[in-house]
Structure 1
Amino acid sequence: FGLTRDIYETDYYRRGGRSFLPIRWMAPESLRDGRFDTLSDVWSFGVLLWEIATLAEQPYQGYGNEEVVHYVRYGNITLERPPNCPEILHKLMRACWTFSPGDRISFRSIVDELVPYENEDFRLNAYYHTQPHSQQETVLTDSNSDEKDLLLVDDNASEQQ
């Protein structure tokens, strides 16, 4: 029938017989050097923001995979501002897509940029803000054990002694 084929096949690119790469979300340094780190993740996060703002359009629509690889690797293309996208969000996207990784915004700075836009309703409902920090536990695994037993450690136990 043809309906079972992967409809997202064109979003990925196979290079030299290797596995598929999500080139439309990859940073220039990842495409050039195969380097992946938190700064290349920031680039991908910017593409994710763009996808959200466009209600899931394909990044670089109208360009073939080879064109996307070439243009992104050399800084000759960026995604356009989505219609009705707030300027603050587009500014954040552009900061994520800074060509030089050393000049690119960090995830910590992204959070700092977004905090002023947090509203009371978000604070009342967000997991981060509603969980009592004094009750948090950390899950650890014993790396010397073959059974990988889980250990629950009270984060505040050392503070109470």
Structure 2
Amino acid sequence: MDPIHRFGKQFIFVYLLIWFVGSLWMMALLGSGTIQGKLLGVDVTLYHEYACFGFAGALGGALYGLRMFHEHYHDLTTQWVYWYLMRPVLCFGSAIITIILFQSGILLLQVGDSMAARISVAFLTGFGYGKFMEKIRALTTTFFSGSSNGNSSGNGSGNGDKPQP
């Protein structure tokens, strides 16, 4: 019997459920101020907001993963196991980067300065991770293409690392 059918589906479900519930729990712990001091050499009080954003992104990614798992339960093959395992982790990091990009002004979206607004954006980044990566790809193409007309087609119209005359 194929291992994905024997134990893999149960493992993926439990893994995503742990990320989902664990993210909620960690956001509550960080929001309550229960976690203080240093954790693995990092001062938690300095980065607790970013950790909340990361867990909000992981929550969105785990929710999307659980939804896809439910919709495609019978179609699950071993090629998708990596996608399910990495989704919450990648969403954790991308949510933090999204908030940093908004705070820096590189991504333009009117988001309030409230913690709830930033957590909402982080959650949406995790839930819509694929769309987020498309936007980041378009942004980097526009940002680094060397083209001043805003063309983000990526067709090689930029000059790469060569200086312009």
Coarse TM-score class (shorter-chain normalised): 0.3 to 0.5
With a CA cutoff of 8 Å and minimum separation of 6, indicate the structure with the bigger relative contact order. 2
Query: Which structure has the larger Rg over C-alpha atoms?
Result: 1
Alignment TM-score, normalising by the size of structure 1: 0.33
Greater helix content = 2
Greater strand content = 1
Alignment TM-score, normalising by the size of structure 2: 0.32
